[in-house]
């Protein structure tokens, strides 16, 4: 995002459609409006920087024993591929079960269940031997016990099927009953410790809840609490070392 045009509540138009990648002429106000979700002004135009479509894409779903192993896997894959990972998403077993139970055409690609899974994708130019470095890194991860099993998509259709498992989680949760979602941003290295504290705390406050956690390699961690039908008042909170929010929702 290079520039924006924004209309304020009083009708004032802020013309910030500058196309400079680095603009040191004043305050970078566009970031304020990008992060305000429309509360400070309405974005009416945008200047974007576009990139060529990658020539090579490698997609894989890996079974991992824990979030801590997933963090180690992230570092290893980035190192082996020269920082070419474009996606790295952590999913729990319960999320995969929701999807395979409710989403037509989806299936578990593994013979044995795993407590956690990582969907990852690397993209790059045609000159880089990305597939070989990606698969070598994955083989080393299996040898080093970071990964117990993995499937690598051999074509576009298989890659799409793996992404469907991740992208269908929200839809599948709706068919399991009501759910409450919290998006929490923490440093990548803090994700395992955060989950170790947050998930048990949720289960104490909401007996019978089924926490489903997804995390991406940026910083965002989504705690989604699925509630079985029949419960009216659901207290929920998410801690980051300590309690930081508590609310009661009517479903």
Mean pLDDT by 10 residues, the chain (251 residues): 94 91 82 88 94 92 96 94 92 94 95 96 86 94 96 96 95 85 81 88 84 66 54 37 31 22
- Tallying the residues shown for the chain, one arrives at 251
C-beta separation of 150 from 77 below 8 A: no
Mention every residue, 6+ apart, whose C-beta is less than 8 A from residue 176.
98, 102, 210, 226, 228
Q: Identify the structural domains of the chain with CATH numbers, from first to last.
A: 3-47 (3.30.465.10), 56-170 (3.30.70.2190), 177-250 (3.30.70.2740)
Element containing residue 119 per DSSP (H, E): strand 116-124
What is the pLDDT, as a whole number, of residue 169?
92
What is d(CA 194, CA 162) in angstroms, rounded to the nearest whole number? 27
What is d(CA 216, CA 66) in angstroms, rounded to the nearest whole number? 15
Burial (CB < 10 A; 0-12, 13-18, 19+), residue 30, is buried
């Amino acid at each position: 995002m290079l520039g924006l045009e924004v209309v304020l509540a009083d009708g004032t138009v802020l013309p910030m459609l500058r196309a400079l990648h680095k603009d040191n002429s004043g305050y970078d106000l566009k970031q304020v409006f990008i992060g305000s979700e429309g509360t400070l002004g309405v974005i009416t135009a945008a200047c974007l920087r576009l990139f060529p479509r990658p020539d090579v894409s490698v997609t894989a779903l890996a079974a991992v024993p824990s979030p801590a192993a997933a963090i180690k896997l992230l570092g290893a894959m980035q190192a082996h591929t020269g920082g070419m990972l474009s996606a790295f998403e952590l999913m729990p077993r319960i999320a995969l079960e929701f999807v395979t139970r409710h989403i037509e055409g989806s299936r578990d690609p593994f013979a044995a269940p795993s407590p956690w899974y990582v969907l990852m994708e690397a993209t790059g130019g045609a000159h880089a031997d990305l597939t070989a470095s990606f698969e070598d890194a994955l083989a080393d991860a299996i040898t080093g016990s970071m990964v117990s099993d993995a499937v690598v998509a051999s074509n576009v259709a298989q890659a799409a099927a793996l992404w469907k498992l991740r992208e269908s989680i929200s839809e599948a949760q709706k068919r399991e009953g009501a759910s409450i979602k919290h998006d929490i941003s923490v440093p990548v290295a803090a994700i395992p410790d955060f989950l170790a504290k947050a998930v048990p705390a949720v289960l104490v406050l909401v007996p019978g809840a089924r926490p489903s956690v997804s995390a991406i390699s940026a910083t965002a961690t989504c705690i989604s609490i699925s509630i079985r039908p029949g419960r009216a008042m659901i207290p929920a909170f998410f801690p980051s070392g300590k309690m930081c929010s508590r609310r009661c929702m009517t479903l």
